[in-house]
Amino acid sequence: MALEVVAFAGPLAGKLADRPQAGLSLYWLGQAGFLLDSGRHRLLIDPYLSDSLAQKYRDRGPSHERMMPAPIEIGEMPPLDFILCTHHHTDHLDAATLSPLARRFPQLRLVVPKASLQLAQDRTGLGPERFIGVDAGETLILDDAVEVRAVRAAHEDLQRDQQGHHLFLGYGLRVKGIRIFHSGDTIPFAGQAEEVRALAADLALLPVNGRSPALAAAGIAGNLTLDEAVELASSCDIRAVLAHHYGLFAFNTLAPEMIDAKVAAVMGPTRLLRARTGIEYRLAGPSETMV
């Protein structure tokens, strides 16, 4: 897989009108959110484009005011085919983002953990026909062109509902022969490397905000540290990592300069990049040429 990092000027909404003719284009939306465009399909993963958490916690708990604006307004989003949500936390399954998008695009389907199917319907007000449930160990073929393999995630524990479905998931996607792994929110756990290695991912999208006893005491689950993210990718022979889940909430982030210092220090086959807005990440499969 070839990965090209291309800065662009102007708003993301304008850039999205220029669809890729080959390969796959990927854009960071902040936090754990990404947009993938294959030229044929557009997919979102864990989009949080509203201020719903700032409103929810305005008079209690740590401030959830945005440190960065959403790179695109919900009303500016172009037509979408699928949205994938890794788990039920609002910065990953946000009704204020998902409901208006689903209303605008009747063909849009939402992939959520089976453990969160009812919650997702209740939260968004959407009917069950709009959702596709998945559990760890299962594979979905979306429209004969997008493969999604669900794996376990531990945020910070491996939790299941009463039916045995996993609450937290990661997704391995295969589009145009390009394999991308989005871990969801997770920390290291026994068997993780084996599951991720089986995905044979070209690019990993990994959280790096870490965790702390203070946050845990406040009921805020943590994530991989930056070092753990690099180690996971390296141990699974993943050639590139986009470090994300930082820069949105001041109480739970990692300073960009710390990520950049690690980017400069990492040597070897795994390439570390800090996810940034205003960047198109262009990916080409082994038989494709970018244009």
Give residue 78's pLDDT.
98
Cα separation of 169 and 186, whole Å? 9
Give residue 268's pLDDT.
83
Task: State yes or no: cis peptide before 65, omega within 30 of 0.
Answer: no
What CATH homologous superfamily does 2-284 map to?
Ribonuclease Z/Hydroxyacylglutathione hydrolase-like (3.60.15.10)
pLDDT tens per residue across all 291 residues of the chain: 789 999 999 999 999 999 998 999 999 999 999 999 999 999 999 999 999 999 999 988 899 999 999 999 999 999 999 999 999 999 999 999 999 999 999 999 999 999 999 999 999 999 999 999 999 999 999 988 999 999 999 999 999 999 999 999 999 999 999 999 999 999 999 999 999 999 999 999 999 999 999 999 888 999 999 999 999 999 999 999 999 999 999 999 999 999 999 999 998 899 999 999 999 999 997 655 433
Say if residues 32 and 224 touch (Cβ distance below 8 Å): no
Cα separation of 84 and 95, whole Å? 13
Rg (Cα) of the chain, in Å, rounded? 18
Q: Exposed (0-12), middle (13-18) or buried (19+): which is 278, by Cβ within 10 Å?
A: middle
CB atoms within 10 A of CB 202: 22
Angle among Cα 65, 66, 69 to the nearest 5 degrees reads: 150
Cα separation of 257 and 263, whole Å? 10
Give residue 59's pLDDT.
86
Q: Exposed (0-12), middle (13-18) or buried (19+): which is 59, by Cβ within 10 Å?
A: exposed
